[in-house]
Structure 1
Amino acid sequence: MVRKYLAALREGHTEPVRTDIPSPHKITGWIMRPRESLTDEQEQQLLQVRLACPDITGPATSHASSLTWPVTAVATC
């Protein structure tokens, strides 16, 4: 593994530096909150996560967002 990395480094073909990955708790919070309540930074981070993980995009996100209404309705009663 190290040998392969050093060979790629010598050739100038290394992998891009990975950024810090937000915790699943943070990501879930961003998905569950209404989009209007996210800061610009949170919106950008969520976009990066969604681009990196296609499973988060689409059905999973829309399903999670649909659960927000009943939870909010119960909390306000």
Structure 2
Amino acid sequence: MPQPVTARPPSPRTVAGWILRGLETLTELEQLQLKTVRAHCPELDALTWHVRSFAVMLTDGQGERLSDWLDAVRQDDLPSLHTLAAGIDRDRDAVIAGLTLPWNSGVVEGHVNRIKMFKRQVLDRAGFALLRKRVVPA
């Protein structure tokens, strides 16, 4: 008797993309597929909830909810998120400030990123002298 034809399961990268994107950006088919995956895997369902609730804290500046989020993470059996929670606990005040305050270091990070790009482009071919010439204004 022939085997029934079944659809290939989505790749982990695809599922991660669905989880990280907002529901409003997913197509109906993607939403249905994510719902199916979440129904078959309680760990992914819990992970999705934690990721999306952290995204809301991040985008809406709700740092005061961090303690509740960390408690919820610790109640689930998700070792990777437990590691993240432990890292957040080590510098909780800074994380709360980052989630709450309107200031950020985006401009500085942009400059660091630009310098690292120059370094990758230049150091392999021309050495430090050319890197210095491109980074330091004349």
With structure 1 as the length reference, what TM-score do the two structures score?
0.59
Match of 1:39 in 2: 27
Give the counterpart of 2:43 among 46, 50, 55: 55
- The structure with the largest helix share of the pair is 2
Deviation of 1:67 after TM superposition, in Å, equals 4.3
Report the RMSD for the aligned CA atoms in angstroms. 2.8
Instruction: Show structure 2 runs of 5+ residues with no match.
Output: 60-105, 107-138
Q: Per the alignment, in what secondary structure is the counterpart of residue 43 of structure 1?
A: helix
Match of 1:65 in 2: 52
Structure 1 residue runs of 4 or more that deviate by more than 2 Å after TM superposition: 16-19, 66-71
Distance 2:40 2:6 in 1: 11
Residue identity in the other structure for 1:20: R
Give the counterpart of 1:29 among 13, 17, 28: 17
Instruction: Show structure 1 runs of 5+ residues with no match.
Output: 1-8, 10-15, 72-76
Larger radius of gyration: 2
Residue identity in the other structure for 2:26: L
With structure 2 as the length reference, what TM-score do the two structures score?
0.36
1:19 aligns with 2:7: yes
For residues 17-75 of structure 1, give each alpha carbon's deviation from its aligned partner in whole angstroms, at most 9, with x where no partner exists: 64311000000000010100000010011011111111111x3112222444548xxxx
